[in-house]
A and B are shown apart, each in its own frame.
Chain A
Amino acid sequence: MSDYILEMKEITKLYPGVKALDNVNLQVERGEIHALVGENGAGKSTLMNVLSGTIPYGEYTGSISYNGKECEFHNIHDSEEVGIVIIHQELALIPELTIAENMFLGNERANKFGKINWGETYVKASEQMQRVGLKESPAVLIKDIGTGKQQLVEIAKALSKDVKLLILDEPTSSLNEEDSKMLLDMLLGFKEEGLTSIIITHKLNEVSYCADRITVVRDGSTIETIDNPDHNIDEDRIIKGMVGRELTDRYPAREHNVSQEVVFEAKNWTVYHPVYTEKCMDKNVNFIVHKGEIVGFSGLQGAGRTELAMSLFGKSYGSNISGQEYIKGKEVKLKNEHDAIQHGLAYVTEDRKTNGLVLPDSIAKNTTMAKMEKVSKNGIIDFLKETRVAQEYVAAMKTKTPSVEQAVGNLSGGNQQKVLLSKWMFAEPDVLILDEPTRGIDVGAKYEIYSIMNQMVAEGKAVVMISSELPELLGMCDRIYVMNEGEIVGEFKAEEATQEKIMSAILSHTDKA
């Protein structure tokens, strides 16, 4: 009988319309490094949120047993109390505070009146920093050290909380090869001291390198747990588990009528980060889109796909943008989003709540927003026309709503996505860029959105689809570009693309970098 530090049994978590986790079982042995792998949206992060109490007890079903005891975590504090610490991909550090202040944030070394004992703070901080190999002074501000070191501060912070089970969500996603290796070696070192870790990562070479056991999550379920005693498992073995899903008719059939006419082309497109202007987000990207074609962009999060799309859409992202973009063969210089819309581009954001919809406003207002001139005359809105247009789109999209006066904030995710699509279809683009168009919506709504995409290309428009779901890209696209770290690293025709090929295109490039 193995000695399990953690056993999660039959965990099920429902979001409205979506089963994020479906009877998940996870067992972690004491003193091991356990890797959790799976595609984006497979449910890894949700599972860890359940474990850490971010999703509180009662909002999921199933049981968590930690050190042999049933646990009910109501918040992060509860789980940290028993020694479970999670480090998120997005680092939770405050840039304007020092390393030491960040390490003891919420856990300050203070007397009972709340006066902070700075001496003790710095001494304790230095002790933990030494353990993770940080040579900085604890009085240095977080914003003045690099991302790699910030990651180490997070780990030192976890150590200071007397961690027993450390969870790392994509710890190396923003680190280079050298820093990643150092971090993994450090985890292996902590393992010798008896620390148990769960590591979530896309980089399978890292999994192979450091994990003792690997659990594969797919579509909200745990598929299998693979032993990796010698730390040399074949990456293809893991990929098979990650993507080995049957493709049934989850995608509506379509006649592929791709014309030879190129409607959109980007040449040598290079984009830098808007704030950290020396950081290159997209490098010399070249791609073309034909009329009547659905072109997919595959890649991991942070591959530069959203940045590429937004920068092409009237420079709505980035700085120091260079390169040429051509619409219908003519070079265009798009100054802003309005320009882009006028030239027949549309960008449907991946984040409909933050960047896509005006939630308190009605469906009607959201639908017409990107092209008000179609429902107005001399700047005066024709309300009857606006209402009629909105009703037409609600009917065409099968949006479920009592009326077009309904605030979009009250709709479900799938229906919000349909309103967002309506808005951009109303703008009558020639090229529609869809960024993760089916994120967070259920299978039925996905199918309807795929149908709409098919209809658009049938009308002679072109669709660019950015997606992290490989099956979706394979099911929908005529051609797929694969991006990694801001560059295009592969291009496949639909008939020759497979999930394995795409994955290995990404991974081989990652390994090289």
Chain B
Amino acid sequence: MKVKAFIKKYTMVIALVVVFIFFTVLTDGKLILPQNMSNLLLQNAYVLVMACGMLLCILTGGNVDLSVGSTLCLSAALAAKMMDSGYAPIIAILVSMSVSIVIGIWQGWLVGYIHIPPFICTLAGMFLFRGLARVVLDSRTIAVMNPSFLNLFTSYIQIPGLDEKGNCKSAIIVGAVVAVALMIYTFISVAKKKKQGIKGNSAAAAIVKMAIIDVLIVVYAFKLSAYKGIPVMLIWILAVVLIFAFITSSTVFGRYFYAVGGNEKATKLSGIDPRKVYFWAYFLMSVLAGFSGLLVASRIGSVDGNMGNSYEMDAIASCFIGGASAYGGSGTVPGIMIGAILLGVINQGMSIYGLPDQWQYVVKGAVLLVAVVFDVVSNKKTGKS
């Protein structure tokens, strides 16, 4: 019984471990080379960032934002175009983000206050912003070459004297500090709970869980150090992910997204305005999409009119694979990060192995379907409608 509950709770973590081992063996260990491990997160930066926003949309009732791939492209196109025309990177970034904010207000208002079904509203946005991006680009490909812009997103932390290529001690130091800090935090909160006399998950389980996370952090830190050190983009990703993890798990504001998705009528009668909740979901989603545009533009080094095609699907898939309910009301940021990384591992593993592109789609589709079917079936069993 206990084993069953454990498997149910950590299904996706177990799946991730299995898939990871599978591809490590399949690729003769190439997957765990430092370079590949470092790229695993950077290549999927846009998925990790946008999945956070997509989670909010999905929480409100299984709705998705289809326009984010196009918003991303528009943001990237604006930045590239501005810098290409000689504006400073800071101006380019401000313009891109401002436009994303406007898009967010626009879509949030339409969905929240005008009650346009999100699917249709964002479908329209998908065409609109894709088109506008191409207008901005004038149907050309624009290179992103401004060094300070690139530095802001794609450089690695290199401390002279401490770090050299292939042996960046700073990564290990940071990794170790984070690991120790997390462990101390865990001990403190366990003690606090005990003091208050609140029964809950056992203290031992919390500590073991944190220990495993610590080990992973340290191992990953070693991998990073063996490549080029800590990538700046990783810091950006972590910032977004941590902020959203905090919002969804620990704030009143975050709680509202779950409440609306769980029962909108009851939420409204509890004095919470569902319109605001919808507004914020789509607003934040667009802002994150715009930010992802900057990340992707810097990483690829150029922007064209097809950039970000079907990126929305990656974000949506990550959420559902990561345990967000297709009916809304449940899902966590850590969960969808597992989903995003699982998808990333599968992608990268298949690429390294050399599986043809067409088959990669088949595999991705199958994984998504299995995850959602699992979610629906297991919820049915526990009696949740």
Contact = CB atoms under 8 A, between A and B. Distances in A.
Given A355-B265, A356-B266, A338 B272 contact: yes
A364 to B, nearest CB: 11
Contacts of A211: none
Interface in A341-359: 341-342, 347, 349, 354-359
19 contacts: A336-B271, A337-B269, A337-B272, A338-B272, A342-B271, A347-B269, A349-B269, A354-B265, A355-B265, A356-B266, A357-B263, A358-B258, A361-B259, A361-B262, A365-B258, A365-B259, A369-B255, A376-B252, A409-B385
Interface residues of B, number: 31
Contact of A384 (B192, B263, B272): B192
A205 interface: no
Given A338-B273, A349-B269, A360-B262, A384 B330 contact: no
B329 A361 contact: yes
Contacts of B259: 358, 361, 365, 369
A513 interface: no
A358 B266 contact: yes
Contacts, number: 99
Interface string A323-343: 000000000000011111110
Nearest to A352: B266
Q: Which of B255, B269, B330 has the most CB of A within 10 A?
A: B269
Nearest to A410: B383
B115 interface: no
A370 interface: yes
List the 9 closest pairs (A to B, CB-CB), nearest first: A358-B262, A338-B271, A370-B270, A341-B271, A358-B263, A337-B271, A372-B252, A355-B265, A369-B270
Contacts of B263: 354-355, 357-359
Interface in A296-321: 313-314, 316
B5 interface: no
A108 B307 CA distance: 51
B85 interface: no
B119 interface: no
Contact of A316 (B255, B268, B330, B385): B268
A338 B272 CA distance: 6
Interface residues of A, number: 40
Nearest to A424: B270
B160 interface: no
Nearest to B259: A358
A403 B383 CA distance: 17
A423 interface: yes
A405 interface: yes
Interface stretch (B177-185, B196-204, B349-357, B365-373): B196-204
- Binding site secondary structure of chain A: helix
Contact of B330 (A354, A360, A369): A360
A256 interface: no
B200 A405 contact: yes
A384 B199 contact: no
A376 B250 CA distance: 9
B265 A384 contact: no
Nearest to B272: A338
Contacts of B267: 358, 369
Nearest to A385: B196
Nearest to B253: A379
A372 B259 CA distance: 12
A458 interface: no
B385 A359 contact: yes
Contacts of B258: 358, 361, 365
B384 interface: yes
Contacts of A1: none
Given A336-B273, A365-B258, 8 more contacts: A349-B269, A358-B262, A358-B266, A361-B259, A373-B252, A379-B252, A380-B251, A388-B196
B196 A337 contact: no
B252 A356 contact: no
Given A359-B263, A381-B252, A387 B269 contact: no
A372 B385 contact: no
A384 B262 contact: no
B255 A409 contact: no
Contacts of B262: 358-361
A376 B252 CA distance: 7
Contact of A357 (B250, B255, B266, B329): B266
Nearest to B260: A358
B358 to A, nearest CB: 38
A381 B271 contact: no
Given A359-B262, A384-B192, A388-B198, A316 B269 contact: yes
A387 B197 CA distance: 11
Contacts of A503: none
Given A355-B265, A355-B266, A356-B266, A381 B251 contact: yes
A360 B200 CA distance: 19
Contacts of A384: 192-193, 196, 198
A407 interface: yes
A336 B269 CA distance: 9
B227 to A, nearest CB: 37
B383 A409 contact: yes
Contacts of A316: 268-269
A339 to B, nearest CB: 8
A42 B271 CA distance: 34
A341 B271 CA distance: 7
Interface in A85-144: none
Contact of A356 (B199, B253, B269, B330): B269
A379 B253 CA distance: 7
Interface string A404-446: 0101011000000000000100000000000000000000000
Contacts of A405: 200
Contact of A381 (B250, B266, B269, B382): B250
Interface in B252-305: 252-253, 255, 258-259, 262-263, 265-273
A380 B193 CA distance: 17
B77 to A, nearest CB: 36
A423 B263 CA distance: 15
A370 B383 CA distance: 25
Interface in B231-264: 250-253, 255, 258-259, 262-263
A383 B263 CA distance: 22
